[in-house]
Structure 1
């Protein structure tokens, strides 16, 4: 039985500048398209300019009047992130929305970023931390809302402080959970520091639930030649409207967290269905692993050191 389509109302975003990572396809493309349709000026940092160009064409098919610019940026390279940040700071325009959506999931074998970090830690967490650091003056100027995409995996596992880079033993799923826990703690700490120090930035979290996206599909660049069994099962369930979401519904929590006037600082938004795997977006209890303020401060400090950035405003 076909499920009834879900959607949310995105407020008018005319005059707002939005940066969305991971917008070349999947959830990110759907988020970017909805923002463009609401009138936002889009800035899309993309690793693959060819895929970015195809995404731009798709966005303009829905929002012909959209203002969209592409910039090269690879979250797995701190130099690339810095170059993108420099380019936006030279433009000088305030950023009103930042949606940290891009990510990689469970390479079968341990892989590293250009800078030598375990790929999931480096891409999902450290690359985004560096992005926030480089854009901080523009985020403050725009009194921005920063929405960071975590995962249901942030509700399991822990941060492997004794071996952050998984050099002694690699477990893809545990490393993925670690990256999302660290990123969630960073988002919560960003909310706390902005409120304490008067930065004017709102920071919250979203997660897409479970849906048939490219995260678990064939990704030769990650060493995954074929689709995983998990994504085949998820596709089967999604097509039948059983438990999990769709690529369309998976985009809604981040859209809600980033644009709704009712979305709150430091809170988490995800699907409201059973197990929070699918359905319409709603506020959820912050995962227990994201509540420890000491752990959040530790993540903040270690992330500054590893990315060689400063998350302060003079």
Structure 2
């Protein structure tokens, strides 16, 4: 029933009209020049935010800027007195060496970061595809690259949260409905996640994708705990002003993420029956990142098109009984230590 509800969700209750004026706030969206990320960037810009779009194609970014400025989207009221701004940050998530230099340059000009969406992703690329460091491409891009980026941005997020309204600073890890179909028992086959793993060759490509999306959900839950520990303690002993960490399923959407999928015409027709406009996925991501009611969703999971949900039960069991979140976090810490 959960899968059915997420595949055929009700109409969104949090729309572009519910996004407040974002003047003075700073946002970062990986992959923010296409697909769902483009929809998120569009709303943030037209609501007055400073939007940093991270990706590896400045050409795609330039095309997105033209699209965003020329089309404010449905139902959006633009406050022309407080225009937003757009800027490009070169980051190739499939090459860990590209991430730190770009972030260091960015941080020289940045004194706050209100919300980051780890939105970019790769889905079912050609078999055998790898990152520059030799990880299976989906794992290396969707998980390892984003983990390194988050590690480098974490101090600024923590500092911003300390001086901001409680619950307003957030890290959003974009997962998928497919997170529920990762390897059993707990979503990740760690033998398939190492550099030049031979094990990955024997695992179906869709299972490898599901594994990467399970990891995104696990990392969000694990960071939720760690973010509280990192936050300064108030005089009353509480830690209200910490970063909120949320994962989500944006929905089954018509985006270019399916560009690698090989399906026949019948399968393509059937798949298109359950695909929704990418703008609705943007609303799911905006709900997770900006809606007041998700301020109490630390470590939680958001489902289409802007509802509180929960991760798959087997994943939850792994986090609670086997501390799978700590195991994953510790492994990734070791993986990226040479690139920090």
CA 1:231 to 1:34, structure 2 compared with 1: closer, same or farther past 3 Å? farther
CA 1:96 to 1:289, structure 2 compared with 1: closer, same or farther past 3 Å? farther
CA 1:257 to 1:108, structure 2 compared with 1: closer, same or farther past 3 Å? same
Structure 2 residue 291 is matched with structure 1 residue 260: yes
What is the CA–CA distance in structure 1 between the aligned matches of 2:339 and 2:325, rounded to whole Å? 16
2:248 matched to which residue of 1?
206
TM-score, normalisation: structure 2: 0.79
CA 1:228 to 1:88, structure 2 compared with 1: closer, same or farther past 3 Å? farther
1:240 matched to which residue of 2?
none
Structure 2 residue 180 is matched with structure 1 residue 171: no
Equivalent residues, number = 289
SS at match of 1:142: helix
Contact persistence 1:212–1:234 (CA under 8 A): no
What is the CA–CA distance in structure 1 between the aligned matches of 2:107 and 2:231, rounded to whole Å? 21
The one of 92, 98, 116 equivalent to 2:110 is 92
SS at match of 2:27: strand
Aligned pairs for 1:65-76 within 5 A: 65-76=83-94
The one of 36, 56, 60 equivalent to 1:47 is 56
Structure 1, unmatched stretches of 5+, are 238-242, 272-279
Structure 2 residue 156 is matched with structure 1 residue 114: no
CA 1:24 to 1:227, structure 2 compared with 1: closer, same or farther past 3 Å? farther
SS at match of 1:208: coil
SS at match of 2:59: helix
Contact persistence 2:97–2:339 (CA under 8 A): no
Deviation at residue 170 of structure 1 after TM alignment: 3.9
CA 1:228 to 1:83, structure 2 compared with 1: closer, same or farther past 3 Å? farther
SS at match of 1:27: helix
Deviation at residue 286 of structure 1 after TM alignment: 2.7
2:225 matched to which residue of 1?
192
Contact persistence 1:150–1:180 (CA under 8 A): yes
Deviation at residue 118 of structure 1 after TM alignment: 0.8
Deviations 1:256-292 (A, max 9, x none): 0000111121111111xxxxxxxx3211123224421
SS at match of 1:113: coil
What is the CA–CA distance in structure 1 between the aligned matches of 2:122 and 2:264, rounded to whole Å? 14
Structure 2 residue 194 is matched with structure 1 residue 152: no
SS at match of 1:59: helix
CA 1:289 to 1:306, structure 2 compared with 1: closer, same or farther past 3 Å? farther
1:300 matched to which residue of 2?
329
SS at match of 1:148: strand
2:33 matched to which residue of 1?
24
What is the CA–CA distance in structure 2 between the aligned matches of 1:81 and 1:232, rounded to whole Å? 39
Larger radius of gyration: 2
Deviation at residue 5 of structure 1 after TM alignment: 7.7
CA 1:208 to 1:34, structure 2 compared with 1: closer, same or farther past 3 Å? same
SS at match of 1:109: coil
CA 1:20 to 1:74, structure 2 compared with 1: closer, same or farther past 3 Å? same
Runs of 4+ aligned structure 1 residues displaced above 6 Å come to: none
> Root-mean-square deviation (CA), in Å?
2.3
TM-score, normalisation: structure 1: 0.85
What is the CA–CA distance in structure 2 between the aligned matches of 1:298 and 1:12, rounded to whole Å? 40
CA 1:142 to 1:103, structure 2 compared with 1: closer, same or farther past 3 Å? same
2:271 matched to which residue of 1?
234
2:75 matched to which residue of 1?
none
What is the CA–CA distance in structure 1 between the aligned matches of 2:99 and 2:339, rounded to whole Å? 14
The one of 213, 233, 257 equivalent to 1:215 is 257
Structure 2 residue 95 is matched with structure 1 residue 77: yes
Deviation at residue 308 of structure 1 after TM alignment: 1.4
What is the CA–CA distance in structure 1 between the aligned matches of 2:249 and 2:308, rounded to whole Å? 11
CA 1:32 to 1:309, structure 2 compared with 1: closer, same or farther past 3 Å? farther
Contact persistence 1:147–1:205 (CA under 8 A): yes
